[in-house]
Amino acid sequence: MSLDHAILGFLSEKPITGYDLKTRCFDETASHFWTADQAQVYRTLERLENRKFVRPRLERQHSRPDRKVYSATPAGISELHRWITSGGPAPPLRDPFLIRLRFAEGVSDDELLGLLGERRQEMQARLESLRTQTARPLPADAQLSAILERLTLDAAIAHARSSIDWLDDCTETLLSRREPDSFSRSGDSRPLPPLGEKGGQER
Amino acid sequence: MSLDHAILGFLSEKPITGYDLKTRCFDETASHFWTADQAQVYRTLERLENRKFVRPRLERQHSRPDRKVYSATPAGISELHRWITSGGPAPPLRDPFLIRLRFAEGVSDDELLGLLGERRQEMQARLESLRTQTARPLPADAQLSAILERLTLDAAIAHARSSIDWLDDCTETLLSRREPDSFSRSGDSRPLPPLGEKGGQER
DNA sequence: CGCATATACTGGTCTTGTCATATATGCTCA
DNA sequence: TGAGCATATATGACAAGACCAGTATATGCG
């Protein structure tokens, strides 16, 4: 149901084609907080059209195939507003990587450290991409729409950073098990510091 | 496909019934990183049984209905290991709340602040529940399985905390727009500090 | 004895997302 | 001139998760 409203959101800002919703919106400007594939976008547009929430206008092109440009209808904008203000629960955490980690007891340390490293590299790449999109600070008198967009980027940045910090904690924990410091070698039951409580570092 | 392997993971540790997989595992010990409903668990068990990855044993009970206790087969354990070491990409960020925020331009400040507050309360409750599960530190000589489980809890904690920090940043940003400090009132274009870069605070 | 609850399992359906495939127009370049 | 790519729209099939409903056995309580 959320894709419906994401599309209504974009169309409430300006008319867009199905092709541009996919390539410009879900592959680019909004990819840090929602994605959709081509089949899904066209099917959702059809459904929204059937419910009179959007209206297409055929646009003839001479150097390109003809295209349908969609706009949100007043009913669509009203439905978007209703949905936005209705709120809803946060989705449960759901990442196959956590299943892998949880049941990794039979996996060698090197393999597990490799998986942590791979995932870290992926999140680092995401963070760097997000960083380039936020390199230019907003002026103090920025429009609300620019501020809201920036806030979604900040959410993705915060998510990537906390992921990286957590992955580093995991790596340190596993390495410290493999090579305990000399104090631990003395055999006492000194508890490990709680993970996840460390302050974030710049990366 | 991930539920298959989560179930194989639990069954590789000890035999479990379908009912306990749902109530003890996906509703309790693993609910911070994966959830599944009852119908889904039973259907997945059937599929795993068909693929010879698990094997049920009927257990007669006299004070309760009879039950099936499932175990992972050697083939199942091998498949679990294969899947764990195969890795895979991080799922894209996907939270309807971010769509709501992005397109909230037509929503009143009070409504938007209310949504931020609701979500913050929900994440705070999650954090507190996770905190009670990690209140007791692991001993330095803890088993690897306990350490790995603790790491998944840390992931959920990190996620909740970074969410709360981000939500607080959003709230501050919106409030500062509503009541700019006197310096901004002078009309200069001083840029806002980048959001998401602030250190996390204890909550 | 009826009701609620726990334990235990199964069937049906819907939604959402993914993967594959198809057709069409037009441009670029070796 | 044809392959590859961009633009543009669309359909079929399937998987995973969610939701709803159903059946059965057993216990506890008013």
CA distance B8 to B139: 28
- What does the pLDDT average to over A166-190? 71
User: Among residues of chain B, what percentage have pLDDT more than 90?
Assistant: 78
Q: Which of A137-141, A182-186, B147-151, B185-189 has the highest mean pLDDT?
A: B147-151
- What does the pLDDT average to over A78-86? 95
**Residue predicted with more confidence, A45 or A182:** A45
Confidence of residue A140 (pLDDT cuts 50, 70, 90): confident
Residue B197 has pLDDT above 70, yes or no: no
Question: Chain A partners of B25 at a C-beta cutoff of 8 Å?
Answer: none
Confidence of residue B181 (pLDDT cuts 50, 70, 90): low
Tens of pLDDT, residue by residue over B93-128, are: 999 999 999 999 999 999 999 999 999 999 999 999
pLDDT of residue B1: 75
B20 touches strand C (CB under 7 A): yes
Tens of pLDDT, residue by residue over B54-92, are: 999 999 888 888 999 999 999 999 999 999 999 989 999
Instruction: Let me know the angle formed at the C-alpha of B122 by B118 and B123, rounded to the nearest 5 degrees.
Output: 120
- Residue in B with minimal Cα distance to A106: B81
- What does the pLDDT average to over A108-134? 95
- What does the pLDDT average to over A117-130? 96
Contact between chains at A123 and B90 (C-beta distance less than 8 A): yes
Task: Tell me the nt nearest to A66, Cα to C1'.
Answer: D8
φ and ψ at residue A192, rounded to 5 degrees: -70, 150
Q: Which of residues 60-89 of B touch A (CB under 8 A)?
A: 77, 80-81, 83-85, 87-89
Question: Chain B partners of A97 at a C-beta cutoff of 8 Å?
Answer: 88, 90
Confidence of residue A152 (pLDDT cuts 50, 70, 90): very high
Contact criterion met (CB below 8 Å) for B2 and B34: yes
CB pairs under 8 A between A and B: 253
Confidence of residue B180 (pLDDT cuts 50, 70, 90): low
**Residue predicted with more confidence, B136 or B155:** B155
- Least confident span in B13-22, B42-51, B161-170, B174-183: B174-183
Tens of pLDDT, residue by residue over A2-53, are: 999 999 999 999 999 999 999 999 999 999 999 999 999 999 999 999 999 9
- What does the pLDDT average to over A190-202? 38
pLDDT of residue B63: 83
Contact between chains at A191 and B139 (C-beta distance less than 8 A): yes
pLDDT of residue B178: 78
pLDDT of residue B108: 94
Give the end-to-end CA distance of chain B in Å, rounded to a whole number.
Answer: 36
Contact between chains at A101 and B148 (C-beta distance less than 8 A): yes
- What does the pLDDT average to over A76-88? 95
Residue A136 has pLDDT above 60, yes or no: yes
- What does the pLDDT average to over A53-62? 93
Length of chain B: 203
Q: How many other C-beta atoms lie within 10 A of the C-beta of residue B5?
A: 25
Name the token pair of A109: 């340390």
A37 touches chain B (CB under 8 A): no
Query: Which among B90, B86, B137 is positioned nearest to A164, based on CA atoms?
Result: B90
User: Among residues of chain B, what percentage have pLDDT more than 70?
Assistant: 88
pLDDT of residue A177: 87
CA distance A191 to B190: 48
Quickly list DSSP for A163-186.
HHHHHHHHHHHHHHHHS--HHHHT
Confidence of residue A63 (pLDDT cuts 50, 70, 90): confident
